[in-house]
Amino acid sequence: MSDPQGPRAGTPHQPLDVAGLQRRLADFAAARRWQPYHTPKNLVAALSVEASELVEIFQWLTPEESARVMEDPDTAHRVTDEVADVLAYLLQLCEVLGIDPLAALSAKIDRNERRFPAP
C-alpha cells in the first residue's frame, strides 16, 4: 500500500533529509493532536530532558569506557535512541521557531572559524 502523501524521508524510496524528517514529526504530532503542547518552551524542556537522559548513560564512565560505549549492543541501542530523541525535539523546535537547522549550524561554524582561526 502506498503512502497517500508520497514517499516519506528515510524510506527506501527517498533518502533522509531534514525537511522530510520535520514533516514526519509534525504529521506524527498532528495525528495525535499534540500540536497545542509543542510550544517552544515545552520543546526546549523536552530537549533538555532527553539530553540529560543521554548524559545519564555516560555519567560514571571513564573516558576509556565512554569511547567504547557503542561496543555493547544494549548500551549502543540506548545511546542511539537518546540521540534520536534529542534530534527529534531539536528538529521540532526549529520547525516551530522557523529556524533552518543546517543553515544555523553552517553560520555558527563560519563564526567559529573567524573567532578561532587555525594556527
Query: What's the rounded Cα separation, in Å, for the pair 102 and 111?
Result: 14
Where residue 3 falls among pLDDT bands split at 50, 70, 90?
A: very low
Where residue 11 falls among pLDDT bands split at 50, 70, 90?
A: low
Section 6-14 average pLDDT: 56
The reported pLDDT for the residue numbered 1 is 40
pTM of the full structure: 0.84
Query: Which grid cell is 29?
Result: 504530532
5 has pLDDT over 80: no
- In 12-104, the DSSP E strands lie at none
The reported pLDDT for the residue numbered 10 is 56
